[in-house]
Amino acid sequence: MDKTKKHHFDTLSIHAAEQEDQNQSLNPPIYMTSTFTFTDLQQAEDTFSFKRRAYVYTRGGNPTINLFEQRLATLENGVDGVAFSSGMAAISSVVMSFAAAGDSLVAHRNLYGSTFGFLNHLITNYGVKTKFINMTDLNAVEKAITSETKLIYLETPTNPALEIIDIEALAKIAHSNGVKVVVDNTFATPVFQRPLDFGADVVLHSATKYISGHGDVIGGFATSKDFDYVQKLKFGYMCELGGVMSPFNAWLLLRGMKTLGLRMERHEKNAREIANFLRNRPEVVKVSYPGFEDHPGHDIASRQMEGFGGIISFELKGPRENAESFVRNLNLIKLAVSLGDAETLVEVPAMMTHRDYPEEELHEFGFSSKTVRISAGLEHYSDLLNDIENSLDKVYRQ
């Protein structure tokens, strides 16, 4: 592939970092091997002393995994990437690469439940404290930074409240104080948002979600414009902590990326249809979707995103039992954690993915015990709307 020419995103998602195969296979081979051999000790010595570039052991490098890393890094405008066994392996490794005992972090109030659990509980065992704030308020960001602050961590759009954070403005504040910025870009994907271009230092993904798109892979990923940092993350943290991705999962993710652009268009179209439908239903109190002009973060999203994503969150009238009944009465839409699959998925975050948040304090974190989250899939939107309408009728008109 001609690297001197900038290709369109959809072309890069299929062809970026292509590798030559001696058998001229259209699809990349799956190098399902734990180790690689040497012809003699001199070749081994040259490899271990970095005189020769070659593969040694799949935990540190594998052709299939490296192709995935380079391709997704290209889509995010990073210099190179690191694949992980899961999104949480990526998140924990990146956070640990910046913070040590005595340091503090600043995180947005609205995060994936396991991320919140890691920052609020697990990492505190190692002497690192996290302050959770509302990063849509930039004044709060400035006030939260101290001399101990090493990292600002956020998602945008957030999970599950779909709040929007101004990456560029936040990065300027952080960098003026010598603080790094890490953005989880799982919800938007590089189709709709590339945080590195707005000043983020590291971008993360749970590749399990939209990057895969088929609900059959667990994987994580991180990239940066700083090549030395990527090498440090790969060999100092991913390799040492052992969160390596399997070559087969990397191959499945490469397959998923081929249709990423097309799929995100359909996810967004279906999300818009669902959001508009819910907004006009009398049973619905509130619908959060960044595509609405009256969404508090719409202007920022319009500036830093090229689309508004495939996730909707909303609240129904009445007690939480109504939300429970609603998800129970859906037929086509599946009750499940995760998102970004071909199937449309629904959940009640406070009861499922965000159980780590204290229920009595949910409002302080931007959502409630009644919040319902829908990940719009690839089905025809009319069938999804019929399923939602039938469920609402059963809940409110029995």
Which residues are catalytically annotated? Answer: 59, 112, 184, 209
3-state secondary structure 120-187: HCHHHHHCCEEEEECCCCHHHHHHHCCCCEEEEEEECCCCCCCCCCCHHHHHHHHHHCCCEEEEECCC
Torsion of CA 230, 233, 236, 240, to 10 degrees: -130
Query: Distance between CA 110 and CA 155 in Å, rounded?
Result: 8
Query: Distance between CA 263 and CA 160 in Å, rounded?
Result: 21
HSE, CB side, 13 Å, CA atoms: give it for residue 12. 17
**Residue 175 burial (CB < 10 Å; 0-12/13-18/19+)?**
middle
Q: How many residues does the chain have?
A: 398
Structure tokens at 35: 């180790």
Q: Do β-strands 129-133 and 104-108 pair in parallel, antiparallel, or remain unpaired?
A: parallel
DSSP H stretches of helix in the chain: 9-15, 41-48, 63-75, 87-98, 113-120, 138-144, 167-176, 189-192, 227-232, 239-241, 247-257, 260-279, 298-304, 320-328, 381-396
